[in-house]
Structure 1
Amino acid sequence: MTWLRSLWGWGESFDASVELWPDAVRPEARRVQTGDGWAATLILVGWPGMVSYAWLEPLVDQATRLEVALHLDGVPAEVAAARLRKQRARMESTQRYVAAKEHLDDPRLDAAASDAAGLASRIARGDTRLHAMSFYVTVHAPTPETLDRSCARLRATAAAMMCDLRPATFRPLQGLTSTVPVGIDSLGARRTVDTDTAAAAFPFGSPDVPGPPGEQAVLYGLNAISGAPVLWDRWAEDNYNSIVVARSGAGKSYFAKTTMLRELYQDTSVTVIDPEGEYRALADAVGGTVCAPGAAGEAINPLALPTQASPEDLTRRKLFCATVIETALGENLSSTEAAAVDAAVAAAYAACGITDEPGTWGRKPPIMPEVTALLAEGSEIGASLAARLAPYVTGGLSSLLAGHTETASTAGPGQLHVFDLSAVPEEMAAVTTLVVLDAIWRSLRTDGVRRLVAVDEAWLLLRDGAGAAFLSRLAKSARKRNAGLMVITQDADDLLSTSLGHTVIANSATQVLLRQAPQSIAAVTAAFALTDTEADLIASARRGDALLLAGQTRVAFSTIAAPEEHRLCLTGLEAFGDGGR
């Protein structure tokens, strides 16, 4: 009865009058009568080779009275190394014996040997530690029959989880005292586990987003493990940017639209760059505005100065004009061509009365046809450049760059503004997106209004050097203007193949991954530092299922929407059917 003497002598300050014990106990082989009830203790003796977060939660979440105890005791590194070495020697000896006798391989033995080798390597590097863990569940019931049924249900639940619960046969008192909150493991049924398994086994943790939601939190969906709402406040993070990566058909546009709608509820101004024309119906439904750059009366002037100009803005406009020309032509300007463009842009501003004096910046700016006219009148290099630019400025593709900006580039509080680029010719797609992004950037102001800029199908922009660079700059600087960037893309390879794509990821405090293409799993896993379980999740996720990554927060959730939201957020052919995301 050493265990009982230890129990009674626990702690010098222990108050024996505390009602931890029943008035009388009567032990049997597998159960014990405690006062007017009965109790039985079950021991966890086996579990699957791979476990997920809070994997013991189903054993705790039972409709019966339970007492659960999880005992953990650290194993010193030198002891752990010695034990592993002996265990690996036994398994290797068995494998050699099997091979020598030409018997069939034991897959379980091979898997255990491989796991032991990997664990030994992690311990040697200091990546993990070993712990002696024991897990007990004491079930209480008013009658022996009810107790037997409750234990049978609990063991069936464990079996469905590939876990093995065994009764504490001939040790019911030790089992009872092992689950009393005094920290004594009277049963001693320990198993050695690593730190990750021990941490995931803790059944009283929560897989939900930690802490109370922020004031501007919006609903992302329902937690895939607990079913609790996942409320996320991007405006409380280090930066306000987010990135959504998924394969085609995984539900990224559905998630993006539900997020935008809920940001609108919070009086956030939302501006969308929409290459496929998917957001026009959403804008119409919420009273937003739609701009189709390049259509009649929808020109955007890259030479227009921002409403709150700073001393360096004129210089930036001159440099940006050269970037627009490079993007339109699809090649970098030579030094002589860049000098010709700079001289022509400066002359165009001067012709409109705009100089380095800020007092002149409120005058009507020049437009691109005036710049190309001055180029044609200059040197032979300038004339050649003007001729190559003619289709984009005065020819059939000139509707975007040939006039003054007539429409707003962002919306007011709680309003949605969509740039519909679906009708833009492929030859003008890159330069149009660049000019639109620039117009949005110039319109961002530090006036207290939260603004969200969403770039859908961002892979189209990331394929263009100038566009990717501009997107990277927006990701780095948007927070200074109380704005957040939302990058939505279905091509993980384009995002991860360039340093600018990695910059966008690094500057996105909120990251959402939906189902990925099989060929992209390895790259996505490395770029976002996913665990094996998280990689498996995004490889097999259903439509609308996603993984939220934000610092230490890693939550799997399913996108949900109210019926009216659902109707507005459907995309493609699904918009004509009954469901989908």
Structure 2
Amino acid sequence: MKEHPDHLEVEGGGVVQVAAAYAYPGVLPDGFLHRFYDLVDEVCFSWRALDPSQAASAVERMRARLRELAADPRAPLTTVQKAQKAEELAYRVGISARLLRFHLTFTYSAEDRAELTQRWRRLRAAAKSLLISLDIPRFAQRQLYEYGYERGPLGVEAASSRLTDTLSAQAFFPLIDERVADPEGIYLGVTGDGSPLLWDPWSQSNYNVVILGETGSGKSMTTKLILRRLLAREPTLRVIGLDPEDEYVRVAQYISPRLRAVRFSTNQKLGLDPLRLATTSPHYTAADAAVFLAELYLPRGDRWEADAARLRVQAANYLAQTQGGAGGGGRGEPSVAGFVEWLRPRAGDLAEYLAGATAEPDSHIFEGDPPDLRGSVMFGLQGVDYAQVGAGPKRKSLVLSLLTLYAQRELFGNYDRGVFFVDEAWLFLDFPATMSLLATTARRARKHNKCFIFNSQRPYDLAANQAGRTILEQSAHTILLRQREAAIPLLKELYALRDEEAQTLIGSPEGSGIMRSGARLTHITILPEKDELQHFSTRGEWAR
């Protein structure tokens, strides 16, 4: 064996390297080491328990020192957080936990240095996603490879060893408890070990839920069960849902007698005027209204961005004059029709582009009274007829966007628990304003104690969209059902799935998949009751 400062050449050809972890985040998910099994040849977690009296003394000294530093008004937030962690550690060690000194190393081999470098980069990236810092100890590779830290060279232990307690160390063990049994959880089925799946979206600090699966995988069934059982559990819970294909409005009364179904017809006046909304919502401006109108009516081409910018300025001026009482065509309450008339002497070309908004069928979107949002309601958008105009599905995207804004104003007006739901979100990937609005909704939901449920297929297209990827990455709860093979690499990257876990999603039975809830990752099978299966199933055979 030939030694080099940062690697070894082994007998028979090939090279070997050992990397060591030296910094960790405050919290690690249970069983997190399984994420490295496909990246390295060996993962070594070694530890030694400290003498209890010495451990208590060491923890107390650390706690006292950090408490003193944190008491300084100028102390940075990181120092205050460390002081809080020290208090927690002192409490656990004082109760029953033992203090451990531990090391974590990763050994990997390759045919040559170039391949070894690639393996190191993949390992480092995986560790970084967990906020773990790695290094390659120089001049210690042989000792680490042959003997480990127990007989390692002087200085290696001091540089890379860390202290933790036996309760926190559970995260390092590879045998994972697959139970999901939240104290106030709704029953959805069973986990991989056969335990009941009792899940509560409010069990995490982020209440957003993403449900991904190909057609026929059980997305709709899963979502209907979640809505039905949440409404049954909480009599005061309020749900507002947007259903592009009318799949949920058909069974709204079975989901819950409190859930009203509202179907939009072709010639119905919806009362969703974006300029009127801009005067009543604190989170929506004239510029936002102009963006939706621009996407629907301005011709795409070299001048689109410039024309859209002009439209935003004109919309802001129109609202300012109308609300101030100085405007002409927009007397009283602002409206799209009033805006078009106001534009004609000021920007005739823009007024011509927007003329379609004042004629049927488009005018039906903006005219009339807005829909009744009292209580829980599911809106069916299939009846929104967009085949008659060149705008195509953009009109349905516009209706969904305006309903989202309208629902936010109502649902996010308090901090009571509530649910906002969007089905088949992939239909709106081609409309940046709609996707951006949904991403904003996801961010605002948590602040207002609301659960945002985002149901879709085509995860690879969602991830290619900046707003879509934001929703996928920032949701604390993810349910992955059957997937196409093309989606597997992306899901492994997004959710740190092992190859074996990800492969189970290809061809999995309807209703079977993987749930990620906070730090927990478990295999699940959704189990509807017989009458739920009869009312909710749209296709396929469910695993029983």
What is the TM-score of this pair, normalised by structure 2?
A: 0.62
Which residue of structure 1 lines up, in the alignment, with residue 187 of structure 2?
Answer: 219
Do structure 1's residue 408 and structure 2's residue 376 form an aligned pair? Answer: no
Unaligned segments of structure 1, at least 5 residues: 1-48, 51-73, 90-113, 133-194, 354-362
Which residue is equivalent to 1:399?
364
- The runs of 5 or more residues in structure 2 that have no matched partner are 1-36, 39-100, 125-133, 138-143, 148-168, 299-303, 387-392
Q: Deviations over 1:100-143 (max 9, x none)?
A: xxxxxxxxxxxxxx9xx989x9799789x9999xxxxxxxxxxx
Map of 1:341 onto structure 2: 315
Q: CA deviation at 1:391?
A: 2.0
Which residue is equivalent to 2:261?
290
SS of match in other structure, 1:538: coil
- 2:379 maps to amino acid: V
Q: Which SS does the other structure have where 1:303 is aligned?
A: helix
Residue 580 (structure 1) shift: 8.1
| Matched positions, count | 387
Equivalent runs, 1:358-397 vs 2, <5 Å? 365-376=333-344, 378-379=345-346, 381=347, 383-397=348-362
| 1:301 counterpart (261, 264, 273) | 273
Q: Could you tell me whether the CA contact under 8 Å between 1:352 and 1:365 is conserved in 2?
A: no
**Residue in 1 that maps onto 2:381:** 420
| 2:239 maps to amino acid | V
- Counting aligned pairs with the same residue, the percent is 22
| Distance in 1 (alpha carbons) for counterparts of 2:104 and 2:474 | 38
Q: CA deviation at 1:433?
A: 1.6
Runs of 4+ in structure 1 off by over 4 angstroms are 74-78, 121-127, 129-132, 350-353, 578-581
State which of 194, 199, 207 in structure 1 corresponds to 2:178.
Answer: 207
| Residue number in structure 1 paired with 2:448 | 481
| Aligned twin of 1:38 | none
Q: TM-score, normalized by length of structure 1?
A: 0.58
TM-aligned CA distance change 1:562 to 1:306, over 3 Å: farther
Q: 1:482 to 1:364 in 2, by over 3 A?
A: farther
1:254 CA drift (Å) = 1.1
Separation in 2, partners of 1:465, 1:221: 36
1:264 & 1:347 partners in 2: Cα distance? Answer: 45
- Which residue of the other structure, out of 175, 179, 200, is the alignment partner of 1:233? 200
When residues 334 and 280 of structure 1 are mapped into structure 2, their CA distance, relative to the original with a 3 A threshold, is: closer
Flag the 1:564–1:441 CA change in 2: closer, same or farther, 3 A: same
Q: Secondary structure of 2:528's partner?
A: coil
2:52 — aligned with what?
none
Listed one character per residue, the Cα deviations across residues 301-349 of structure 1 (whole Å, up to 9, x for unaligned) are 2234599x67x56xx3322221221221265434333322322333344
**2:517 pairs with 1:543:** no
- Distance across 2 between alignment mates of 1:351 and 1:122: 64
CA distance, structure 1, for counterparts of residue 268 and residue 123 of structure 2: 64
Query: 1:482-561 counterparts in 2 under 5 A?
Result: 482-561=449-528
Displacement of 1:214: 3.1
CA contact (8 A) 1:475 1:485 kept: yes
Change (3 A) 1:227 1:295: farther
Correspondence 1:73-88 to 2 at 5 A: none
Matching of residue 272 in structure 1 with residue 241 in structure 2: yes
Distance in 1, Cα, partners of 2:146 & 2:223 = 43
1:457: Cα distance to partner? Answer: 0.9
| Partner Cα separation in structure 2 for residue 450 and residue 292 of structure 1 | 25
The one-letter amino acid of 2:313's match is A
CA contact (8 A) 2:201 2:207 kept: yes
Secondary structure of 2:363's match? coil
Distance 2:104 2:319 in 1: 70
Q: Determine if contact 1:352/1:366 at 8 Å carries over to the other structure.
A: no
**Structure 2: which amino acid aligns with 1:221?**
G
Cα deviation, residue 280, structure 1: 1.3
Determine the C-alpha separation between the residues in 1 that align with 2:341 and 2:508.
56
Report the counterpart of residue 457 of structure 1 in structure 2: 424
Q: Secondary structure at the match of 1:404?
A: coil
The residue type paired with residue 336 of structure 1 is R
Amino acid at match of 2:241: V
1:36-185 to structure 2, matched below 5 A, reads none
CA distance in 2, matches of 1:423, 1:516: 30
3-state DSSP of counterpart to 1:400: helix
Paired letter, 2:401: L
- The aligned residue for residue 150 of structure 1 is none
Residue aligning to 2:66: none
Q: Which residue of 2 aligns with 1:320?
A: 288
RMSD value, Cα: 4.1
Structure index of larger Rg: 1
Q: For residues 26-75 of structure 1, give each alpha carbon's deviation from its aligned partner in whole angstroms, at most 9, with x where no partner exists.
A: xxxxxxxxxxxxxxxxxxxxxxx99xxxxxxxxxxxxxxxxxxxxxxx99
Pairwise CA distance, 1:250: 1.0
